[in-house]
Amino acid sequence: MSDAIVGISAYYHDSAAAILVDGDIIAAAHEERFTRKKHDSTFPHNALKYVLLEAGRDLSDISAIVFYDKPWLKFERLLETYHAFAPKGLTSFSFAIPVWIKEKLFTKKIIRDELLKIGPGKPPLLFPEHHLSHASSAFYPSPFNEAAILTIDGVGEWATATIGYGKGKIIKILRELYFPHSLGLLYSAFTYYCGFKVNSGEYKLMGLAPYGISNSNETKTWKQKILSEMIDLRENGSFLLNMDYFNFATGLTMCNEKKWEKLFGIPRRKSESLLTQSYMNLALAIQEVTEEIVFLLAEETKKITECEYLVMAGGVALNCVANGNLLRRGTFKDIWIQPAAGDAGGALGAAYIGWHIWKNNNRKVTVGNDSMHGAYLGPEYSSSDYIRLTRKYNAPYKHYEKFDTLCKDVANLIA
Ligand SMILES: [Fe+2]
């Protein structure tokens, strides 16, 4: 029988499940698409049931379930961080630790219990590191046989960014940047300060940046202030954050608002309040700093690996403005980015680790073509599904035989 491997991400944000059969992606889905809860972090029951159904499998005929990170390493990071910053962070400590002990630390047992609700079967459980899952999701489905790998996110266990190298079925992680020094968390802190939701509104901050005025005094001064006060940025793209400005390591918020207000001269924007030019300028300042760091990291990646091609994943790789500018700089001949670059895509990366690293299977690369099947990997709905829904809600509808006519009519309605 062909060999099926499942990948799962859960318990942080963007839970998801993915399934490979003989190394080919059959299905993958976000749990939020079923529960309608944005960034749903609960165990992906619905997504898992869906991918199993799509592959025609039960849990009993899965050769492994690969979780996208190592929970106990994350716990170690939490403990060591509180220890390093003590007595700062006591409130957050007494809030976080019981949750961890009760709900997160014993992930193996929790996952087994959750799997039992889906059906019988006890496939082996594997726990690769978070950034290896990102690296795997970027490299294995890419159209390159050999590529440099750059992963950048908020944080996994300890790593917040990695430089790696992939060839055939081999992935080597060559450099790591560690928590609390994180480009993703820096960007999230600005998301928070500009009045958006962390781990969700980052794309709004990115979308706000082009409304900033590049040569305005505010943008220029703030960019300078970020680089001189908040970050110690090195030539190789690595950096240290000045933790006087940030609360995310031990606090319940992202940043030290008083210090930020003193530095930028504007208070944290209240959520849903008017977006003034200053917040647009601040969004642009952090976008420009982010791009500078991404470019330096990419240069370093090129220097270390000497590869022609680059693949990327991790939440920061969802910054398509930075990616576009990086491509235009021509550091690499071409770049491929995992479409699900955030943690949901970690489920896919985890499944690939099961297939290529744990099972040691070779990789088939069709040069010029990735293996994502157009990334249409979730549930699809037939006309009869829609008709059933219109009956349920007594909704008026018009059936179109021709897709072109449908597109024209919809475009007209939007216009
Ligand atoms: Fe991540």
pLDDT in tens, 11-24: 888 999 999 999 99
Nearest to 141 by CA among 326, 305, 353: 353
Name the strand (E) or helix (H) holding 29. strand 24-30
Residues 6 or more apart whose CB falls under 8 angstroms from that of 197 comprise: 191, 271
What is the structure's pLDDT at 192?
A: 96
Tokens 């496939």 — which residue? 123
Q: Which two tokens stand for residue 332?
A: 């690499």
Q: How does residue 329 score in pLDDT terms, banded at 50, 70 and 90?
A: very high
Q: Give 405's strand partners.
A: none
**Burial grade of 346 (CB within 10 A; 0-12, 13-18, 19 or more):** buried
CA 27 – ligand 1 centroid, Å = 21
CA 150 – ligand 1 centroid, Å = 12
What is the structure's pLDDT at 367?
A: 78
What is the structure's pLDDT at 371?
A: 96
What is the structure's pLDDT at 309?
A: 98
| pLDDT, mean of residues 49-57 | 97
CA 388 – ligand 1 centroid, Å = 38
CA 286 – ligand 1 centroid, Å = 20
What percent of the residues of the chain are helix, what percent strand, and what percent coil, each to the nearest 5? 50, 15, 35
The overall average pLDDT reported for the chain is: 93
Angle at 365 between CA 360 and CA 366, to 5 degrees: 160
What is the structure's pLDDT at 68?
A: 94
CA 133 – ligand 1 centroid, Å = 9
| pLDDT, mean of residues 138-147 | 97
CA 156 – ligand 1 centroid, Å = 6
Q: pTM for the full model? A: 0.92
Identity of residue 55: A
For the stretch 199-254, pLDDT in tens is: 889 999 999 999 999 999 999 999 999 999 999 999 999 999 999 999 888 777 88
CA 134 – ligand 1 centroid, Å = 7
- Residue 104: pLDDT over 70: no
Report residues near ion ligand 1: CB below 5 Å.
153, 343
pLDDT more than 70, % of the chain = 96
Gap between the Cα atoms of 108 and 342, Å rounded: 23
Lowest mean pLDDT segment, chosen from 86-90, 349-353, 406-410: 86-90
- Residue 383: pLDDT over 90: no
Q: How does residue 101 score in pLDDT terms, banded at 50, 70 and 90?
A: low
CA 195 – ligand 1 centroid, Å = 22
What is the structure's pLDDT at 43?
A: 95
Half-sphere exposure of 368 (CA within 13 A, CB side): 0
CA 249 – ligand 1 centroid, Å = 16
Angle at 146 between CA 141 and CA 332, to 5 degrees: 95
Name the strand (E) or helix (H) holding 16. strand 16-21
3-state secondary structure of 402: coil
CA 278 – ligand 1 centroid, Å = 30
Residues 241 and 180 sit within 8 Å (Cβ to Cβ): yes
- Residue 265: pLDDT over 90: yes
CA 368 – ligand 1 centroid, Å = 27
What is the structure's pLDDT at 77?
A: 78
CA 313 – ligand 1 centroid, Å = 8
What is the structure's pLDDT at 106?
A: 66
CA 130 – ligand 1 centroid, Å = 6
Q: What are phi and psi of 186, to 5 degrees?
A: -60, -45
| pLDDT, mean of residues 334-339 | 98
Gap between the Cα atoms of 124 and 108, Å rounded: 10
What is the structure's pLDDT at 264?
A: 96
| pLDDT, mean of residues 175-182 | 95
Gap between the Cα atoms of 256 and 278, Å rounded: 19
Residues 6 or more apart whose CB falls under 8 angstroms from that of 266 comprise: 278, 279, 282
pLDDT higher for 59 or 252? 59
CA 216 – ligand 1 centroid, Å = 34
- Residue 372: pLDDT over 90: yes
Residues 6 or more apart whose CB falls under 8 angstroms from that of 180 comprise: 81, 155, 241, 243, 246, 248, 249
Q: What are phi and psi of 172, to 5 degrees?
A: -120, 130
pLDDT more than 90, % of the chain = 82
Q: How does residue 57 score in pLDDT terms, banded at 50, 70 and 90?
A: very high
